[in-house]
Amino acid sequence: MRWLGIETSCDESAVAVVEVGGAGGKGLRLLSSVVGSQIARHRPFGGVVPEVAVREHLRNLPRLAEAALAEARLGTGDLDGIAVTQGPGLATSLLIGHAYARGLGLATGLPVRGVNHLEGHLLSPFLTAEGTVPFPFLGLIVSGGHTLLIEARGWNDYRRLGGTVDDAAGEVFDKVARMLSLGYPGGPEIEKAAAQGDAAAHDFPRAFPERADFRFSFSGLKTSVRYFLEKTPEKLADPRFVADVAASFQKAVVDVLVRKASDAARTRNLRTVIAAGGVACNGALRAALERESGRAGYRLLLAPPVLCTDNAAMIAGVAALKEEAGAALPLPDDIDPNLPLASV
């Protein structure tokens, strides 16, 4: 089975082709994955501009679909289905992918499936040659729009254990990077600066420290960094100072993510933990999760960095795996910008 995936939920237009059970084998093979990043277009504004995103998706999608098929050396006649992100995301961006997928479905007669963008992130560590999903497991999804702890119990059976009450983890990386006059998107820039800094230089606050509380809050941390910087604005010109703030801030975020994920795994007795989403590219977070998995004794699976940030392989992959497991759901007629991953 070969599936084409289309992802346009935010500011990346992406198309990918995956194959499951190819050549009599099992598992999932990534045949192509192309991402048309719009970062350069949004950079002058320091964030995603929906109007710009829509125009870019419209312009890029047909060209990316052609490129993904060419890279996989396939035509539409070789496909078994089309998958597209149903939500959550920016309504206007989602609409472009949805309309394009439906059009392609009509033209080719192929089935079209809607995929939850968060389910894509959640299952991205399993888009491997093994291709099986070891339910139950704990999912830490950390991206620009979401910070979630999910108990994945089976196909379409996801329970939300906790999430952010204000900013998402990636969002706060982006905002603090801006305060430090680092580039956009902020996550990779903070990580780069932090590598030269001392994470023990400043003690920034960690919210909801109680062990059984799986809520996250990053706005207090953000405000604390802001007040701290306002005390000595002249120091922002000192790269050493910026590096120390970046490292201390990054440590505060990583500490909270690792501790809550570990507590949730223990409380719910889950022996496999995964981390995915853009922030899961962060080397300090990956290393801290590795250390904690050794200490607490759970199996850790990290999405490969190319599958952490938004991509279409995770959308095609989820559709293909669910189709194979008999767990695919029919495509709703419309997008859903607030589509939840879990019913509870």
Binding site for ligand KG4 (CB under 6 A): 10, 143-145, 170-171, 173-174, 185-188, 191, 277-279, 281-282, 309-310
Structure tokens at 88: 């959550």
CA torsion, ordered 238, 192, 35, 10, to nearest 10 deg = -60
Rounded CA separation 305/276 (Å): 9
Q: Give the SS3 label for residue 37.
A: strand
Question: Least distance from C-beta 22 to ligand KG4, angstroms?
Answer: 28
Size of the site for Zn ion (CB under 5 A): 2
**282: partner contacted, choices ligand KG4, Zn ion, none (Cβ within 5-8 A by kind):** ligand KG4
Residue 143 engages Zn ion in binding (rule: CB under 5 A): yes
- Determine contact, residues 208/147, Cβ cutoff 8 Å: no
Determine how β-strand 2-7 pairs with β-strand 147-154.
unpaired
Q: Which is nearer to ligand KG4, 97 or 278 (by Cβ)?
A: 278
Q: Which is nearer to ligand KG4, 110 or 124 (by Cβ)?
A: 124
Question: Least distance from C-beta 282 to Zn ion, angstroms?
Answer: 15
Q: CB neighbours of 287 closer than 8 A, spacing ≥ 6?
A: none
Question: Least distance from C-beta 143 to Zn ion, angstroms?
Answer: 4
Question: Least distance from C-beta 121 to Zn ion, angstroms?
Answer: 6
Question: Least distance from C-beta 235 to ligand KG4, angstroms?
Answer: 23
Structure tokens at 124: 């991205």
Rounded CA separation 56/54 (Å): 5
Q: Which is nearer to ligand KG4, 54 or 74 (by Cβ)?
A: 54
Determine how β-strand 28-37 pairs with β-strand 2-7.
unpaired
Token pair 């007795």 is found at 269
Residue from 310, 316, 335, 339 that binds Zn ion (CB under 5 A)?
Answer: 310
Residues pairing with 29 in the sheet? 19
Query: How many CA atoms, within 13 angstroms, populate the side-chain half-sphere of residue 116?
Result: 17
Structure tokens at 86: 């149903």
**19: partner contacted, choices ligand KG4, Zn ion, none (Cβ within 5-8 A by kind):** none
Q: Which is nearer to ligand KG4, 270 or 279 (by Cβ)?
A: 279
Contact segment (CB under 5 A) with Zn ion among 38-46, 107-115, 250-258, 308-316 equals 308-316
Question: Least distance from C-beta 13 to ligand KG4, angstroms?
Answer: 13
The residues binding Zn ion (CB under 5 A) are 143, 310
